[in-house]
Structure 1
Amino acid sequence: MKKIILIAICLLSVKGFSQKSINDYQYLILPLQYDFLKGKDQYRLNSLTRYLFKEEGFTVFFDEEQLPEDLFKDRCKAMYGNVKKVKGGFLKTNLQIEIKDCFGNLIVESDLGSTKEKQFDKAYAIALKKAFETLKYLEYRYEPRVAEDVVVNSTTASEATNAEAKEAELKRLQKEVEELKLEKEKVAKEEAEAKKQAELKANKEQDQAKKKMDDLRREAEMIVEEKQDVKSEVSKTSDLLYAQEIEGGYQLVDSEPKKVMILLKTAAPDVYSVKGKDAIVFKEDGNWVYSENTGTSKIKKNLNIKF
């Protein structure tokens, strides 16, 4: 009972019925561009309108499409739909759907569909769907009128008309399928190109990583070779040197006692600079090591120091 009352309220809200019912018309023609928009099918609003009507059983064509032969010969076999933008309300988008006959007489008009959505593409879609809600309850079903003096061959003529309509619909569907096929091929081509670019990028990154690894390997080999060269020059000695503390460091003397070198403290623990030479003395693995760079070669040797 509640559902019946709701349908009745919605039917009463649809304004502007003429004496001729929408069920008397077999076709509905929609414009490919509405007056309040700047381009054909802008925001795909015209396509959305056609989709909503087709969902309710209407046979819909755009005004720029090829029409069935019977409709081409007699445009009054179709209704003409339109969507108009209505002013009213602060920051509101209001749309209204109207359907007229071939003479411009209003057959049916929806209630306003309104929204406060700010983005036009979303706002127009929302407002259109809301306006269309009041047309759903019309329960459109094409019911051709039969005159009293219908001849016997009227059935044949009707079948021919239906055949023409089906042929036109088939051509339209074939066109849509072809467009979808082209779109699918375009998407596949773009995906293939994206995949190719991704592979090229991956190969480039792989080559860069390999080059970096080769450089690190060569650097490690050079370090090992350098250590081996330095190690071969290290002279081991059992001469004991005595460290005598002086201001700023130590002086090393041998058993004579003879001053061998002076060690100056540095900021690093167990690391001393050798006065008068480009050399240092440092502790490595529990041993004191003397390291000097003469400019042409490196000298490295162990020192036996007693502090």
Structure 2
Amino acid sequence: MKTKFLSLLVMCLVAGSLFAQTNLNAYKYVIVPNKYDFLKEKDQYQLNSLTQFLFEKYGFTALKEGEAYPDDLVKNRCLALKSDAMKDPGLFKTKLTVELKDCNDAVVYTTKVGESREKDFYRAYTEALRDAFTDIEALNYKYEPNLAATTTTTTVVAATNTNQEIQELKNEIQALKEKEAQQAASVAVVPVVAAEKVETAKEAKTMEAEVKEVMNSVLYAQEIENGYQLVDATPKVVYKITKTAQPNLYMVNGENAIIYKKGDTWLIEFNTSEGTKQKELNIKF
């Protein structure tokens, strides 16, 4: 019975390791912070530099926080994991754990607790960190891009439907203009007819303005690498957005903003010095 239990435990550990490896292999980069919360200074005891070195040693592409990031990472921050090291309490031992989070701050991997009995802080922290990294080493990490199947059918159909709606509005405007011309040619010119002409002209101008507003407000989603570019009827690229791990949530490239769907409505949310601001968007995917 004891042998069966030990065998089951080993199988669970192996399965957990393989699952973690598969998850981490989908990420191309690891971002290492410049300072850990449990230390007072940046890269104190060279612990952050050692973290970057160890990630590189075990196959990762490690970047320091704030440095110039590669173009693909700038376009898609979800290609990177954010690393952190945390100190566990202990009287006679220095204990450190390494944690990895995705672009949504969800923890995707945590190492074992690395330990050291050294009294010197420099040696204790580096030894505990190296001990924690034995779990990272065991993963045998290798980057494997996770390509999702995409289709443009929905975008084309949505754009076609919108164009039809705009054309119908144009046809109505033309019909109103023709009606106005017929009334102008009428022999019996009375105040009532004149009033109708004025009203008809107002209606035509109003509907024409509505058409222009519809054409200017609709943004068409055109698929690009790792996301979409949103263009108006000009066509002009208004926003470039990058996919995230969450459905219907996108990062806006070059701006401190996100675009997400709430119910049937698409919203863009900006972070400003005055707080968070929202604006409704008419997006056709």
Scaled to the shorter chain, the TM-score interval is: 0.3 to 0.5
- Report the TM-score when normalising by structure 1: 0.43
- TM-score by structure 2 length? 0.46
